[in-house]
Amino acid sequence: MKLQTLQDLLVHELKDLYSAETQLVKALPKMVRAATNDALKAGFEEHLEETKNHVTRLDQIAKSFDCKLTGRRCKAMEGLIEEGGELISEDAEDAVRDAGLIGAAQRVEHYEIAGYGTARALAACLGFDEAVRLLSETLDEEKAADEKLTELAENTINVEAAEMAMAE
């Protein structure tokens, strides 16, 4: 389909996000299982619930646009999840793996932040106020998830992993 209008591009972006989010709903339980640190595990669990809600919000937008968001595969998210999976299968010390999982998860969050930022800008330009509101809600949750991961890494998990190496 030719992208004729800015609205076509917006739908294109939303399809990409829809695929990314639905892939994440399947991938996050594996991150929960792979994480050792309780706070990290809980963080992934919480973001899994938020992610399900991100899919719901995209469904709501699709309904208001009377379009379907299925049928497109986000290859970037596929690659990010694949790399996360590779890390999970590495033979690693628990705290070191946790530190790596945070890096993998933050790559995902940054991809989502870029995608939602773009979609929201397009929706704002086109005057779709309700879509802007819904996309902002998700964008804020992605940013909060990212910040939480940074905090967890810098205050706890990286420190633990570093101390472990010194103890050896």
State the residues that interact with Fe ion by CB under 5 A: 51, 54, 112, 142
Q: 96 or 153: whose CB is closer to Fe ion?
A: 153
Q: 54 or 97: whose CB is closer to Fe ion?
A: 54
Q: 11 or 20: whose CB is closer to Fe ion?
A: 20
Provide, rounded to whole angstroms, the least separation between the CB of residue 164 and Fe ion. Answer: 28
Provide, rounded to whole angstroms, the least separation between the CB of residue 147 and Fe ion. Answer: 12
CA 158 to chain centroid, in Å, comes to 21
Q: Is 127 left (phi over 0), alpha (psi -120 to 50) or beta?
A: left
Residues with Cβ within 8 Å of 46's Cβ and at least 6 positions away in sequence, in order, are: none
At residue 72, φ and ψ (nearest 5 deg) are -125, 140
Residues with Cβ within 8 Å of 61's Cβ and at least 6 positions away in sequence, in order, are: 14, 130, 131, 134, 135
Provide, rounded to whole angstroms, the least separation between the CB of residue 110 and Fe ion. Answer: 10
Provide, rounded to whole angstroms, the least separation between the CB of residue 125 and Fe ion. Answer: 22
Q: 16 or 142: whose CB is closer to Fe ion?
A: 142
CA 45/CA 141 separation, integer angstroms = 14
CA 97/CA 157 separation, integer angstroms = 10
Provide, rounded to whole angstroms, the least separation between the CB of residue 21 and Fe ion. Answer: 5
The answer to whether the beta carbons of residues 149 and 98 sit under 8 Å apart is: no
At residue 62, φ and ψ (nearest 5 deg) are -60, -40
Q: 37 or 51: whose CB is closer to Fe ion?
A: 51
Check residue 9 and report its DSSP letter. H
